[in-house]
């Protein structure tokens, strides 16, 4: 994610949306109270759920043509249990649940916190198959101006689930440590076009509506799901090695947005030159006519605010570097997902690094000047947001407040320090190995430290600890004269 500077983090979200959940207990006699569970994420204790591993999601949405009406939806989850389970917790906190089946039989369900808690007829054994089907609504309307999940655009809907809003859209195990394959089906009335992450596998047309089906070829975190419904045009072009590139834009904007979109294949080639092959089956931009205040790296189809390309005050180099930021996330953050939300710096630090490197190589914007400025602010950023790998918890009702300067330029600054410390050849090898060793996987700060130490041929744990967990910014290798302004007390 990258917040657009003019608007800042103006997106707010409810700390708890339990009041918006409407579920009913279909049978009495539940032995003990259902409680919300989590996978122990330091920043989001109730995200994710223990006891199972999701292999695939099948999401089916039916859109009425009106943004103010809930979509009807069927979510099917194929998982395997990793422990014996009397109950199965899913994350789901916005919408009405009509029915639930577990392994083909109706199951009881209730809500607890932001969880939907299922009680199957019989206890599930460890290591067995688990198929859950939930019939529910998916509601793009949020009370009190709260946002998250569906984004209402001028001509339809898009999705922005980072960090913790996928479970406002569909029931899931809403943590990036449980990646899965996705099949997404969208039915929309005539005149609309639906596009989702992955490649299309079929279109079925009836006189009044069309159903599009998309499937991902690689596992994906729930936070990176994208579904676009709108009066859209899909522009297709070829990327490197025949990679299918498709952009989804408001049909009326084809003339103005086309020149920007033609830059994507060369940007992919540039990234491949830095870190190796593009990790997915397709790429492209979804340009939404909505004021989101951010861009978002949804997997294979990054979400951009239309205004980024239409407002005259943004210099050309800046817009292109933001395009590269979201593209770089396809390697850093998407193909290699953070193990916990405290590892967010690995995603944002790298995306910012390639954004800045691109601006230097293509537009002469000095990386060293930018890093020296970041160094000057670094102590203040650490005081405000915590050190890069131990960020402060989000404030109540401000979950996107984890997207602070310390995880952007404050963490690109660490990568600059690391390159200064181990030298460019070792740093380049580290970057290439990172995205190849952990491709389609989940990895955290310790994994990056171990790989860096191996590539550099020496133990870097002291260096990593000082830079990633320290209250103060350590001296910059090679620039002993750089200073950081003290934090205001
Ligand atoms: Zn980002």
Residues 6+ apart with CB under 8 A from 196: 182, 184, 186, 212, 214, 225, 226, 227, 228, 301
Find the 345 Cα to ligand 1 centroid distance in Å: 9
Residue keyed to tokens 């906190």: 93
In this predicted structure, what is the pLDDT of residue 34? Answer: 93
CB 154 within 8 A of CB 3: no
Find the 6 Cα to ligand 1 centroid distance in Å: 16
Find the 469 Cα to ligand 1 centroid distance in Å: 21
In this predicted structure, what is the pLDDT of residue 144? Answer: 66
CB 76 within 8 A of CB 181: no
**CA dist., res. 273 & res. 324, Å (int):** 13
Find the 1 Cα to ligand 1 centroid distance in Å: 4
In this predicted structure, what is the pLDDT of residue 156? Answer: 97
Find the 409 Cα to ligand 1 centroid distance in Å: 11
CB 172 within 8 A of CB 134: no
Q: What share of the chain is helix, strand, coil (3-state, %, to 5)?
A: 30, 30, 40
Alpha helix positions (H), 253-343: 254-261, 264-275, 307-310, 316-331
Residues in the chain where the model's pLDDT stays below 50: 7-30
Find the 205 Cα to ligand 1 centroid distance in Å: 37
Q: Which two tokens stand for residue 129?
A: 């198959």
Domains within the chain, CATH numbers bracketed: 2-230 (2.60.40.1730), 341-469 (1.10.390.10)
Find the 374 Cα to ligand 1 centroid distance in Å: 17
Find the 171 Cα to ligand 1 centroid distance in Å: 25
Find the 476 Cα to ligand 1 centroid distance in Å: 24
What is the DSSP secondary structure assignment for residue 34, as one 8-state letter?
-
For the segment 176-214, what is each residue's pLDDT rounded down to a tens digit? 999 999 999 999 999 999 999 999 999 999 999 999 999
Question: CA-CA distances (angstroms) from residue 217 to 103, 157, 173, 282, 402?
Answer: 25, 24, 19, 10, 30
Find the 196 Cα to ligand 1 centroid distance in Å: 20
Asked whether the CA dihedral 147, 234, 301, 303 is positive or negative, the reply is: negative
In this predicted structure, what is the pLDDT of residue 15? Answer: 29
**CA dist., res. 112 & res. 363, Å (int):** 52
For the segment 142-179, what is each residue's pLDDT rounded down to a tens digit? 886 566 899 999 999 999 999 999 999 999 999 999 99
Burial 286-302 (b: 16+ CB within 10 A, else e): bbbbbebbbbbbbbbbb
Find the 102 Cα to ligand 1 centroid distance in Å: 37
For residue 236, what is the enclosing H or E element?
strand 232-238
Q: Which two tokens stand for residue 111?
A: 């809500």
Find the 159 Cα to ligand 1 centroid distance in Å: 16
Find the 385 Cα to ligand 1 centroid distance in Å: 16
Find the 297 Cα to ligand 1 centroid distance in Å: 7
Asked whether the CA dihedral 244, 248, 249, 254 is positive or negative, the reply is: positive
Find the 121 Cα to ligand 1 centroid distance in Å: 43
In this predicted structure, what is the pLDDT of residue 24? Answer: 35
CB 118 within 8 A of CB 52: no
Find the 202 Cα to ligand 1 centroid distance in Å: 31
Find the 328 Cα to ligand 1 centroid distance in Å: 9
Neighbours of ion ligand 1 (CB under 5 A): 1-2, 348, 351
In this predicted structure, what is the pLDDT of residue 147? Answer: 63
Residues 6+ apart with CB under 8 A from 418: 427, 430, 452, 460, 463, 467
Find the 348 Cα to ligand 1 centroid distance in Å: 5
Residues 6+ apart with CB under 8 A from 314: 308
**CA dist., res. 69 & res. 64, Å (int):** 7
């Amino acid at each position: 994610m990258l917040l657009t500077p003019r608007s800042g983090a103006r997106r707010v979200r409810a700390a708890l949306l339990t009041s918006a959940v409407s579920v009913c207990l279909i049978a009495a006699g539940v032995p003990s109270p259902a409680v919300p569970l989590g996978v122990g994420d330091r920043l989001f204790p109730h995200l994710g759920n223990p006891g199972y591993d999701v292999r695939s999601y099948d999401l089916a949405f039916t859109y009425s043509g009106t943004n103010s009406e809930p979509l009807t939806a069927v979510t099917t989850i194929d998982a395997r249990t990793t422990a014996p389970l009397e109950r199965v917790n899913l994350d789901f906190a916005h919408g009405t649940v009509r029915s639930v089946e577990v392994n083909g039989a109706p199951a009881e369900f209730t809500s607890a916190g932001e969880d939907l808690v299922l009680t199957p007829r019989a206890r599930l054994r460890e290591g067995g198959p688990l198929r859950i089907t939930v019939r529910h609504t998916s509601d793009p309307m949020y009370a009190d101006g709260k946002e998250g999940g569906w984004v209402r655009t001028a001509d339809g809907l898009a999705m922005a689930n980072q960090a913790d809003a996928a479970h406002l859209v569909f029931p899931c195990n809403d943590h990036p440590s449980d990646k899965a394959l996705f099949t997404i089906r969208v039915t929309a009335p005539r005149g609309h076009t639906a596009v989702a992450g992955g490649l299309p596998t079929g279109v079925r047309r009836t006189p009044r509506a069309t159903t599009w089906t998309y499937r991902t070829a690689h596992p994906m975190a729930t936070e990176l799901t994208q579904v676009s419904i709108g009066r859209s045009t899909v522009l297709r072009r070829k990327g490197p090695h025949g990679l299918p590139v498709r952009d989804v834009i408001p049909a009326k904007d084809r003339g103005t947005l086309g020149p920007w979109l033609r830059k994507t294949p060369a940007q992919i080639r540039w990234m491949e030159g830095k870190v190796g092959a593009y990790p997915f089956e397709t790429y492209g931009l979804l340009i939404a006519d909505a004021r989101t205040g951010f861009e978002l790296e949804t997997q294979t189809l990054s979400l951009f605010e239309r205004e980024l390309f239409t407002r005259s005050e943004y210099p050309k180099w800046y817009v292109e570097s933001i395009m590269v930021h979201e593209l770089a996330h396809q390697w850093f953050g998407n193909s290699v997902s953070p193990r916990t939300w405290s590892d967010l710096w690995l995603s944002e630090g790298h995306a910012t690094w390639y954004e800045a490197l691109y601006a230097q190589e293509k537009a002469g914007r000095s990386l060293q000047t930018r890093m020296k400025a970041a160094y000057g602010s670094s102590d203040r950023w650490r005081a405000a947001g915590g050190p890069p790998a131990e960020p402060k918890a989000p404030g109540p009702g401000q979950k996107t407040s984890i997207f602070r300067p310390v995880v952007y330029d404050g963490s690109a600054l660490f990568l600059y320090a690391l390159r200064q410390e181990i030298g460019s050849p070792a740093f380049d090898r580290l970057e290439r190995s990172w995205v190849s060793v952990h491709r389609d996987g989940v990895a955290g700060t310790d994994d990056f430290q171990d790989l860096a130490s191996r590539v550099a041929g020496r133990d870097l744990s002291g260096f990593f600890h000082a830079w990633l967990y320290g209250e103060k910014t350590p001296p910059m290798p090679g620039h002993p004269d750089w200073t950081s302004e003290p934090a205001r007390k």
